[in-house]
Amino acid sequence: MRAAHTEAQVRAAEEALMAGLPPGALMQRAASGLAHAVLALLDGAYGRRVTLLVGGGDNGGDALFAGALLARRGAAVDAVLLTESPHEAGLAALRAAGGRVRRGTAAPRELPDLVVDGIVGIGGRPGLRDDTVAALEAHAPAGSGVTVVAVDVPSGVEVDTGRTPEDAHVRADVTVTFGTHKVAHLVDPAARACGVVQLVDIGLAPHLPAPAVEALQAADVAALLPRPTPASHKYSRGVVGVRAGSGRYPGAGLLAVAGAASGLVGMVRYVGDPTVLDRVREAHPEVVGVGRVQAWTVGSGGDNRAGAALRAALADEVPLVVDAEALRHLDAPVRREGGEPVPAVLTPHAGELAALLDVERAEVEADQLASARRAAERYDAVVLLKGSHSVVAHPDGRVRVNTSSTPWLATAGAGDVLAGLIGALLAGGLAPYDAASVGAWLHGAAATYASQGGPVVATQVAAAIPEVVRDLLT
């Protein structure tokens, strides 16, 4: 499991760890990890040019000590001070190692190979001052190809929320972080500014509490996956029902079935428009009609029948996935007739979540973590906000973020496949929170597998799911 913590959690753990260490030891660990990451990126130090952008806190200290190490290895290191009070010991170390120090935002005669963003870390306020923006633009102009390495977090992003409320922030190629991931490394839009995130172990783990946000890794997904035993039969493995698609959107029904019929449960039933049923049977001869199910997927491409489909699924005493048009017919909290709670997964994209919360889409996109959490609480259901890093929020406040995806997955019908897949995982016995996060992981991994770095369509994503599951289990 990849764990991400808040600033306060990191500071408390750091204090506990520091109590048994000499002063400055943690910064040395951080700086050494940072310097080695830079060495790997530059494939050595000798003759390479590195510029440090240095703010007034310990983030700048990390950059200065790493710069000293790089200078001792033969790199030409320049520190640009963006503060009146830089980390003194770090500055002395850099100077002693032969690094140069200057102030101001003037452009250098020659661009460096790599810029280290040591402007602010977890102690930073969102946004960047104008002089800082000017210094960034002078040393790593957009499109220049200068590699930008952020120390701990890209300066200017909001560390605990993943928001980027002020547009001014660093856009890094690589972020080197310490002790644990921070929320901003997982949650968009900040996560998009991090580039590749590398974690340096500084010994913090024993002191960290339960994470604020986590991300399943392949081993976690493999451990959670429902799998048959020699005693299994098709009914004991679970039966998922799909009420999706319509005369207007038959493809959505087919794709939801394709996601459900990826072999993770014993049987798939389709209930809906007779013309869609014919096409479902042609494409998936193993799919059957009306009968008992252990979970429903409802709504994808459901058009004006989605409300009726949702009511029918809610009347059955099984968990359900509510997707697309069916989301419009939900009341908060999600309940059966008679007021009984229902285990449910809602799978909105940003626009649909905005409608569920009665806010603007832009507000959801800017604050994905809080929006998903708010909806999960209000609807008393697991909410999966679809995006490049989908957010899965539990009504009790827990959050998982999915990191297995590829940008190529932003394609028509992919959401229908996901809804069917999560329904299958619910029918296979997973709790809604696990079904949603395992489903998102498999879906992203299947897209990545099918894409191989190129275009992919939703049918290929569904077709790749068994292959991804096989890889996980063998």
Binding-site annotation: residue ranges for (6S)-NADPHX: 58-62, 152, 252, 301, 349, 416
Residue 348 lies near ligand NPW (rule: CB under 6 A): no
From 11-19, 98-106, 112-120, 238-246, span contacting K ion (CB under 5 A) = 112-120
Residue 178 or 433: which CB sits closer to K ion? 178
Structure-token pair, residue 202 = 């500084």
Binding residue ranges: 58-62, 117, 152, 155, 252, 301, 349, 386-390, 415-416
Q: CA angle at residue 395 from 392 to 399, to 5 degrees?
A: 35
Residue 160 lies near ligand NPW (rule: CB under 6 A): no
Query: Cβ of residue 131: shortest distance to K ion, in angstroms?
Result: 16
Residue 121 lies near ligand NPW (rule: CB under 6 A): yes
Return the one option of K ion, ligand NPW, none that residue 117 interacts with (CB less than 5 to 8 A, by type): K ion
Query: Cβ of residue 141: shortest distance to K ion, in angstroms?
Result: 19
Taking residues 220 to 259 in sequence order and writing x for each that binds ligand NPW by CB under 6 A, - otherwise, the string is ----------------------------------------
The count of residues interacting with ligand NPW (CB under 6 A) is 29
Residue 26 or 258: which CB sits closer to ligand NPW? 26
| Interaction residues for ligand NPW, span 400-429 (CB under 6 A) | none
Nearest residue to K ion, scored by beta-carbon proximity:
155
Residue 125 lies near ligand NPW (rule: CB under 6 A): yes
| Interaction residues for ligand NPW, span 11-70 (CB under 6 A) | 11, 14, 26-27, 30, 55-60, 62
What does each C-alpha distance from 195 to 134, 149, 158, 161, 427 come to in angstroms? 21, 9, 16, 17, 37
Residue 158 lies near ligand NPW (rule: CB under 6 A): no
Query: Cβ of residue 445: shortest distance to K ion, in angstroms?
Result: 30
Residue 91 or 393: which CB sits closer to K ion? 91
- Structural contact between residues 116 and 51, judged by C-beta atoms closer than 8 angstroms: yes
- Structural contact between residues 331 and 307, judged by C-beta atoms closer than 8 angstroms: no
DSSP strand pairing (391-393 vs 399-401): antiparallel
| Interaction residues for K ion, span 147-166 (CB under 5 A) | 150-151, 155
Residue 150 or 264: which CB sits closer to K ion? 150
Binding site for K ion (CB under 5 A): 117, 150-151, 155
Binding site for ligand NPW (CB under 6 A): 10-11, 14, 26-27, 30, 55-60, 62, 119-125, 127-129, 132, 151-152, 178-179, 202
